[in-house]
Structure 1
Amino acid sequence: MQKTFLGISSVILFISMLIFPKAVLLGASNGLLLWFHIIIPTLFPFLLLSTFLLSTKNICYITNMFGSFISYIFGVSKPSSYCILVGFLCGYPLGAKTVADFVRDGLISQEEGRYLLSFCNNTSPSFIMNYLVLKTLNKEKLLLPTLFILFFSSYLISIFERKRYHFTPLNRHFSFHKPVWSIEAFDLAVLDSFESLVKIGGYIIFFSVLLTLCQQIPFRSPIFQIIFSSLEITNGLKLLANLPFSFQTRYILCVGLTAFGGFCSVAQTNCMLHDTGLSICSYTKQKLAAAVTASILCMLYCKI
């Protein structure tokens, strides 16, 4: 049944691309520009440095500085503190990639990886502040409240999910006694980072095309616009910001989409999880739960 659905959907998409070539060109161009001008400059340095630190065993310096505090707050092993830092500060899908790398390398258990994936793959603070609050909403006074709502909603999800996953934080998984520096490791980190960026760029272009094609549908109902916005976060926020609703409603919708990340980020996350045993279905449900939680917190803030 699933294969039949995917087959029919692919045929419909192919026919739509033939009927609306201008929309395909526009969507692909928008996706490519987004990837080239925003994703590469903002994500590549973090991808490169994170991969290099892990391969040379130098992340022990970071975990020694922050590990005890973060592991106490989230109930995880000391090495997992690095995954949480990256997941909260660097943006999609670097948090998921870091968790997946840790699971593959045996630094954390698969069960702990599932728990980490449930809450530490998030939109970066830079995107929240610059694109969501300042550019899309144009309300500087919402900077701190929005950051708090999105981060706190992820923390609430972590508290809830902690009861589902049973694991014992074993810090012995992470005993790097001799950090090293190597130009060969740096070369490999560059290649690995660009491979990840190419995958991310491919998904961004595809979902930008898909979103542009969906906008060719003659139905202009706000409900359809809300559904379409969930495909890709950057263009989706533009759609939500232009809906004929009150500012509070648009703010709540935008915060909810930012907490979810869009289906494009789900696809990007999925490509990072190969050979780990981590479930993309569980991740998607957890991100939807985070979106609902953030929306509720946003509603409470608007009422206050």
Structure 2
Amino acid sequence: MFSRSKNLFRAPTMTLMLGILSFLLVIGIVSSPEQTFQASLQGLSMWWHIVFPSLLPFLVLSEILVAYGWAHGIGVLLEPLMRKVFGLPGVSGWALTMGMTTGFPGGAHSTLQLVDQGDLTPREAERITWLSHFCNPMTIIIFIGIGLFDKPTAGYWLLGIHWVSGILAFLTYTSLSKLVRKKGTDQPLLDSGIQSPRLSLMRRVWIAIHKAHVRDGRSFGKLLGESVSHAVQTLMVIGGYIIIMAVIIHLVNYYIVPGVPIYYLAGIFELHLGAKAISSASDLTPAIQWSLLSALLGWSGLCAVIQSISPLMKTGIRRLPFTMIRLLHGAYAFGLTLLIWRPLNLYVLDVEPAFTYLPNDANQLSPFDNIWSRIPLILEWQGLVLISLLLFSLGVVLVTSRRSH
């Protein structure tokens, strides 16, 4: 009874808060229409010239591959890994595959489909959602690597760091939660997956691919047309998010925190806008620029977080753990990029610093002037310490959990 009344109280409160925020947003747009128009126009230009042409082919091909069962076959290949390393049913490997190949919220939608089919419990769905929240590889390789920096090879390195740091963040959080959680409070995992131990691995992969293709049942012509239609619809939604977030970022930067560099605010709200702002920032060293970019990919922005959480709200997914893992993902990505920055810059990026932070005359600035522009300088020498502590904590957690079992 108490829980029900609490939910009834929470719903009107949330409605009131969202209504107030929407009203304030309208007031901000009306009070500065020209600046708002320019912000939305910049978001539209970036979406049309970079995001749309870079992601459309990949989205079309990814849906074709899923229809032909390739994602399901990869999920079978990942079954031993999912059970032994992540403690999840083998069938959840398909959701992980979708998250790593199609990007958010592909992993969340695939997880919801598995829940609706009865293959996952809500607890398992929550955990696989924590793990499968990755950025679209083509966003990293094409949009960032080629579109923003004109360095295709750098996109592959960023993608590798993005995947590794996401897995480390999941293992860290789940290991810590096992240590602090009381025994007997966790629900047992379902023994789902493909139950054919007598068949070889490749035979099971082929069966999964064939069943998925038969279940889809579309001809190639129909599949191609629907894939293009769905891809354009998805990109239209992404474009709408980018334009709305561009306006919100402008209003927040103009009215609330006018002294904060735009790349901090853009990175908090939306991935594409944040990446564009970081790539054009002139007050960052290359090491911090690329490290912040990796951190942004790990955090993914409020826009992507909302897109991934919303489909699974009816399953009871918790917002706080998901957000904590995203922050940890960003911290690991930031630290890993700093750790490998020297070889990465030497053999891949070949970026020369074109500026310095401090002026020639140290008396020109007081210790409190332009504090936001000095944050990257602080992060540069503290980043290695941060990531070292995180990796050390991860090692201690893993060793302790093994001994406890």
Q: With the length of structure 2 as denominator, give the TM-score of the two structures.
A: 0.62
1:271 aligns with 2:287: no
CA distance in 1, matches of 2:284, 2:148: 15
Aligned to 1:282: 321
Aligned to 1:159: 171
| SS of equivalent residue, structure 2 residue 269 | coil
Q: Within 5 Å, which residues of 2 pair with 1:8-87?
A: 8-32=20-44, 34=47, 36-47=52-63, 50=66, 52=67, 60-87=72-99
| SS of equivalent residue, structure 1 residue 275 | helix
Q: 1:47 touches 1:94 (CA, 8 Å); kept in 2? A: no
Q: How many matched pairs?
A: 300
1:168 aligns with 2:189: yes
Aligned to 1:292: 331
Larger Rg: 2
Q: 1:27 touches 1:212 (CA, 8 Å); kept in 2? A: yes
Letter in 1 for 2:275: L
Kindly state the Cα deviation for residue 256 of structure 1 after the two structures are TM-superposed. 0.5
Aligned to 1:131: 143
Kindly state the Cα deviation for residue 71 of structure 1 after the two structures are TM-superposed. 4.1
Kindly state the Cα deviation for residue 238 of structure 1 after the two structures are TM-superposed. 1.8
| SS of equivalent residue, structure 1 residue 102 | helix
Letter in 2 for 1:46: S
Q: Within 5 Å, which residues of 2 pair with 1:107-126?
A: 107-126=119-138
Larger relative CO (CA 8 A, sep 6+): 1 or 2?
1
| SS of equivalent residue, structure 1 residue 82 | helix
Kindly state the Cα deviation for residue 265 of structure 1 after the two structures are TM-superposed. 0.9
Q: Within 5 Å, which residues of 2 pair with 1:231-270?
A: 231-241=269-279, 242-270=281-309
CA distance in 2, matches of 1:22, 1:100: 42
Aligned to 1:213: 251
Kindly state the Cα deviation for residue 295 of structure 1 after the two structures are TM-superposed. 1.0
CA distance in 2, matches of 1:260, 1:222: 19
| SS of equivalent residue, structure 2 residue 170 | helix
| SS of equivalent residue, structure 1 residue 230 | helix
Kindly state the Cα deviation for residue 193 of structure 1 after the two structures are TM-superposed. 7.3
Residue deviations 1:202-229 (CA, integer Å, cap 9, x gap)? 4333213222434545966454541233
Letter in 1 for 2:167: Y
| SS of equivalent residue, structure 2 residue 160 | helix
CA distance in 2, matches of 1:131, 1:196: 16
CA distance in 1, matches of 2:193, 2:256: 59
Kindly state the Cα deviation for residue 139 of structure 1 after the two structures are TM-superposed. 4.7
Letter in 1 for 2:271: I
Q: 1:88 touches 1:123 (CA, 8 Å); kept in 2? A: yes
CA distance in 2, matches of 1:302, 1:212: 32
Q: 2:253 touches 2:265 (CA, 8 Å); kept in 1? A: no
Residue deviations 1:163-194 (CA, integer Å, cap 9, x gap)? 3374425125889795534349969x868877
Q: 1:243 touches 1:250 (CA, 8 Å); kept in 2? A: no
CA distance in 2, matches of 1:274, 1:201: 24
CA distance in 2, matches of 1:95, 1:174: 23
Q: 1:77 touches 1:169 (CA, 8 Å); kept in 2? A: yes
Letter in 1 for 2:217: S
Q: Which of residues 101, 107, 112 is equivalent to 1:100?
A: 112
Q: 2:242 touches 2:272 (CA, 8 Å); kept in 1? A: no
Distance 1:80-1:7 versus aligned 2 partners, 3 A rule: same
| SS of equivalent residue, structure 2 residue 133 | coil
Aligned to 2:181: none
- RMSD value over aligned CA atoms? 3.6
CA distance in 2, matches of 1:58, 1:126: 18
Residue deviations 1:5-51 (CA, integer Å, cap 9, x gap)? 4333222210111123334434444545626545554435435754x
Q: With the length of structure 1 as denominator, give the TM-score of the two structures.
A: 0.80
Letter in 1 for 2:316: G
Kindly state the Cα deviation for residue 78 of structure 1 after the two structures are TM-superposed. 1.5
